[in-house]
Structure 1
């Protein structure tokens, strides 16, 4: 924060001077960049170029719809997940596969790969005398394998089943041959793996099929033997003969019982008609008799003849009597014939009853046989199921065995991988890219040298300038005063008098406020500053973070504090004024009479800092007024005051506390070792003012021997202690 002792050391960065230094050293920067670029070009030219080629393979099923094994659908083909793809990547980079590729391409004799495999002369000498292990062919093969692995990159493309094989070498031919050979060897390995799996399956199926064939034969023999021993003969619809006969006999019994019931019903109706003397010729069973039908025809004829003759003859005529006699005989014959029909129906019913009895006896016998056959059939079906399961498994094994044998014999074992992009011999090396890297070296060197030039100008101070801070010229003070910044400084008015009350002196900006200047006793050294300005100089020069103002005369003297705070704000000091006078007139004066939250609210924890700090209406200073909370209750939390002051000191350059007519005991709460004590006096000659000042001195806040010697406007106390005015000797 701006202090009198440190203001002159505040500096800003001069951007113009900074870039001017860069322009002044432009030739050196360009030449240095060109030199570094040439060195980079030479270094890149000496590096052996490296070539890189890549082969891409796709993991997919190669089975067609025509060669796919029986029962396998298109959706049943294996689809590798990300873990499966990573496993294939590890397989491609495995040591066994790489060793086969090294042997196939004779990479052991390649000078580039075998450069680190040959032991040095020193190592051979040490091995000869037994101080080191003897290098053998195995170690050499391990060196070559490691060299191949260092130049090999195998990775899978994200979110796909594509695997990329990259190999870099100084020889473009080797860089293309190695990934192609690795891909071919990987495909061969996949085919060999399938062939081995197929051969293993065939070898396992052969004894299984032989054993299963025997088990199927035994199971079917058991079925036939059990069927023969249990007499479970099969009839129509693959049903057991006893069960089929039982069904047929049940149907016959039902038919016989129906016929018996019909015969009994017919006989009962004929019997009832004969017993009641009713006309039996109307019964259906009687009418079915041919004789009854002829007798019925004769009866109708006789009735017609009688009816015709009755029209011309009397009822006693012999002819009519003869006809009636014939009709009576005819009716008698009809009834006799009806009795014969009844006898036939009763005989038919008796026959049906006998048939029913016989069928019932036969049915009971078949039921017993069918029950036994059912129990035996359960066992037979179990044997048949076992035989069917063994037969189905045998057929499945035979089908798989024939498919596996045909694939092995024909050599058709497609690998689930396809090389869709083979590596070509690269034309340009991938490292070093001489021209792009040279250009990058030029840009980087130019940037580094430019930054170095700027930093040099910055650290040397050529690009720094004093900070633009409005600071008043500080009058020199004697060494003793600097060493003792805690002694009080008295603010006294000059020739003008401060109004006796705040009501007579409304708040106003600094330009309109009363000017307080000390007397000018020496015409050879006229006063350049008022008493307010000199005290402001002292506070800025002391470097204090807190200034405590004691106003023994109350609000009249507190007006000087307002002028002091505004003077400091005009000089660019971030200052805040705390009104602890008890009357609150300072806050109302600086805030146009407004009653706002302030110190009492902050002590009582009713308001935060942001709501109690207000801006002065006539300067850049800020003020914390007395506040609106009950002062008595607020003073119960006076222990929070040091914490509040420390928080304000961390945010402001200077915290000014006007304590009003405070006593020495009250000042102990707000004055610390880094505080400046200021006495604000209107009438220094007043006895009460002297008494209050002496009480403060007696409280240990000042040592008389450490006072800075001032002249003019001095205040002499009873014990000889002299307080000088704020007018400093020029």
Structure 2
């Protein structure tokens, strides 16, 4: 761009003159580019065409599901990773493989691979290259093959591409396929060698393991016989099995004894208390007792029948009652016999329990001794089982390896899935692309040469004084937006104009005059009453009360919000760290502090799109900082509105004062942003405005009694000037 020079230099680059040199030298640029293109075209026509053939090899598992070892799945077999595939690329370019291919195709006898080219002969004559006649034929052929061979792995795959170039298209295809086939053969030979090595190693190992298995099993059998650890049912020793049976028998005897004692006790209690014995199940189950009970019921029935016609003293009734009494005696006597039988059963059970307990204790000692010996037996069995399992594994592997060798089944984990065909067109030289690229590159390089020559010659330089600038009174300001709301300063000016108030213009004062005016202010400042609702007074009150957060409510919109800017700048002028957070709907007040720029702000911070360092900006006209409304979607930012108190607390830790301009907010919205060090400020432009009255009533009804009124009037004590002009003049808001 013209006129973009560095400060302090007396000359600048004339962009117009610089690019004018391209128009003056267009013939030179065009002819030079055409000459380069012609030379490249001649080179392409004289060059021997090169043909390239391509063969593709896929690395994959070739083992069949029917020939895999037992229990092994396709997922268990190792598949080459990217490092393994790259290793196979190195195998394809190995010297041994290339020498075998060269010998099969007899490449050493061809002019292309056996004799040096014209360029090589020239370098040999100049002594810049070694004479191939002094090198072994295979080494020279190998070097030439490497120059014509390109092997690479296709990214993110297990495909290896083998490309071979030659002046003979048939030889290119034949060599490419031969290299891939030789690679498959080499891999099969490597697998065969590995299989042979495995069988050679497994054969003596199997013989040795067979001997050790026999010895281990013999040790187990001898130890079991010598330790009397004979095995019974459930694969347990006889001592353990007998201990279990005696324990079960003892539990049964104890249960029978307890049952007999309980039955005897119930019968004894019934005989002692005179309770009827027919209520006891064990007595009722006796056959004799059942017959006596039936006779007893019959006698009671007869007595009841005769009592209806005979008196109690009648001989017949007396005889029946006598029989009934004898019958009751027989019942009780039978009950005593049953009691005696149960007592005898309990006594026998106690004797049996004592005997079983003695036998149980003996078997416990015998089982404990057998358990100690069983530990050693299990160790011998584990060793024998491990040897047997290893022998079985070796036998299986040996049979598999021997079977594969006998039947020559050794699948290689690679296959050629795309063989090379004889190429029909040469890959070099591509005449049209090369000539076209050379022509474009010639144009670009010669244009840069002309520009640098013009720049270094000094013809593209011009003095900075030659740049004409428009007079200050002719510089046009940008047109105002008709739809934008008037800023408070403009509104005040319009009200003053409507009221007919005129302010006479005055000439600019000198530095001495301004200093005299300031001295007179400071002299009579104490006698001039200060507005208690001015910016200066409110700032002093915030400092005195120790308030660190001020929430400004402006019912009149942006007209009232302008006072927040004055308040933040007033606090900054007093050497205090202050920041203004713009939470109005329009964001106009923050743009006035940033020369109308719209940058990231509080909504971007709430939406987690920016950090604190990205949304805090410096006021262009004071030392205050400002956090504008922002660029993020307001709806998305409002979803994280609960983070506002946390953000304010973090800012209070870094700043002395945090001024939050809330615009025409209600008390319910403001309440969520308050803290112990928060002061509610009501910014008023027109006290008679209905919106101001409604906002004050809303704050009062919601418990905000200590509300400060801010009228936006400037301080009566001006800030002392530092010279004829203010280096950072503040625009009227």
TM-score, with structure 1 as normaliser: 0.55
Aligned to 1:226: 223
Aligned to 1:617: none
CA–CA separation in structure 2 for the residues paired with 1:453 and 1:356: 124
- Maintained 8 Å contact 1:54/1:167: yes
- Maintained 8 Å contact 2:151/2:160: yes
- Maintained 8 Å contact 1:21/1:453: no
Aligned to 2:145: 148
Aligned to 1:66: 66
Cα distance, 1:177 vs. partner? 1.8
Deviates more, 1:100-109 or 1:292-301: 292-301
CA–CA separation in structure 2 for the residues paired with 1:430 and 1:629: 78
Cα distance, 1:398 vs. partner? 2.4
CA–CA separation in structure 2 for the residues paired with 1:163 and 1:228: 66
Matched, 1:355 2:352: yes
Aligned to 2:112: 112
CA–CA separation in structure 2 for the residues paired with 1:418 and 1:135: 39
Matched, 1:164 2:161: yes
* Alpha carbons of structure 1 residues 225 and 42: separation in structure 2 relative to 1, 3 Å: same
- Maintained 8 Å contact 2:18/2:455: no
**Greater C-alpha radius of gyration:** 1
Cα distance, 1:102 vs. partner? 1.2
Cα distance, 1:446 vs. partner? 7.8
Q: In the alignment, which of 189, 192, 196 is matched to residue 195 of structure 1?
A: 192
Aligned to 1:426: 423
Matched, 1:404 2:401: yes
Cα shift readout 1:487-517 (whole Å, capped 9, x = no counterpart): xxxxxxxxxxxxxxxxxxxxx99xxxxxxxx
* Alpha carbons of structure 1 residues 76 and 595: separation in structure 2 relative to 1, 3 Å: farther
Cα shift readout 1:41-99 (whole Å, capped 9, x = no counterpart): 54443332222222222222222333333333222343333332322222211111111
Aligned to 2:208: 211
Cα distance, 1:154 vs. partner? 1.9
CA–CA separation in structure 2 for the residues paired with 1:459 and 1:331: 150
Matched, 1:593 2:508: yes
Cα distance, 1:272 vs. partner? 4.2
Cα distance, 1:213 vs. partner? 2.5
Cα shift readout 1:597-646 (whole Å, capped 9, x = no counterpart): 9xx9xxxxxxxxx99xxxxxxxxxxxxxxx96499xxxxxxxxxxxxxxx
CA–CA separation in structure 2 for the residues paired with 1:286 and 1:454: 134
Paired residues for 1:293-372 under 5 Å: 293-372=290-369
* Alpha carbons of structure 1 residues 328 and 152: separation in structure 2 relative to 1, 3 Å: closer
Q: In the alignment, which of 253, 256, 259 is matched to residue 253 of structure 2?
A: 256
CA–CA separation in structure 1 for the residues paired with 2:401 and 2:414: 20
Cα distance, 1:338 vs. partner? 3.3
Cα distance, 1:38 vs. partner? 5.8
Cα shift readout 1:543-585 (whole Å, capped 9, x = no counterpart): xxxxxxxxxxxxxxxxxxxxxxxxxxxxxxxxxxxxxxxxxxx
Cα distance, 1:101 vs. partner? 1.1
* Alpha carbons of structure 1 residues 109 and 337: separation in structure 2 relative to 1, 3 Å: same
CA–CA separation in structure 1 for the residues paired with 2:79 and 2:316: 118
Aligned to 1:95: 95
- Maintained 8 Å contact 2:116/2:132: no
CA–CA separation in structure 1 for the residues paired with 2:264 and 2:337: 11
Partner SS, residue 419 of structure 1: strand
Tell me the number of residue pairs that the alignment of Structure 1 and Structure 2 aligns.
477
Aligned to 1:176: 173
Q: In the alignment, which of 231, 235, 240 is matched to residue 237 of structure 2?
A: 240
Partner SS, residue 409 of structure 2: coil
CA–CA separation in structure 2 for the residues paired with 1:437 and 1:319: 151
CA–CA separation in structure 2 for the residues paired with 1:107 and 1:360: 99
CA–CA separation in structure 1 for the residues paired with 2:372 and 2:442: 103
* Alpha carbons of structure 1 residues 40 and 228: separation in structure 2 relative to 1, 3 Å: closer
- Maintained 8 Å contact 2:132/2:140: no
Cα distance, 1:117 vs. partner? 11
* Alpha carbons of structure 1 residues 312 and 192: separation in structure 2 relative to 1, 3 Å: same
Any unmatched runs of 5+ in structure 2? 4-9, 125-129, 473-505, 516-619, 622-719, 725-733
- Maintained 8 Å contact 1:12/1:466: no
Cα distance, 1:19 vs. partner? 6.9
CA–CA separation in structure 2 for the residues paired with 1:12 and 1:321: 157
TM-score, with structure 2 as normaliser: 0.55
Cα distance, 1:342 vs. partner? 3.0
* Alpha carbons of structure 1 residues 226 and 596: separation in structure 2 relative to 1, 3 Å: farther
CA–CA separation in structure 2 for the residues paired with 1:359 and 1:332: 41
Q: Please tell me the root mean square deviation across aligned C-alpha atoms, in Å.
A: 5.0
- Maintained 8 Å contact 1:21/1:457: no
Paired residues for 1:456-467 under 5 Å: none
* Alpha carbons of structure 1 residues 281 and 435: separation in structure 2 relative to 1, 3 Å: closer
CA–CA separation in structure 1 for the residues paired with 2:451 and 2:370: 113
CA–CA separation in structure 2 for the residues paired with 1:168 and 1:324: 137
Aligned to 1:568: none
CA–CA separation in structure 1 for the residues paired with 2:442 and 2:430: 18
* Alpha carbons of structure 1 residues 116 and 592: separation in structure 2 relative to 1, 3 Å: farther
Aligned to 2:498: none
- Maintained 8 Å contact 2:22/2:447: no
Cα distance, 1:147 vs. partner? 1.6
Cα distance, 1:105 vs. partner? 1.1
Aligned to 1:660: none
Cα distance, 1:315 vs. partner? 4.2
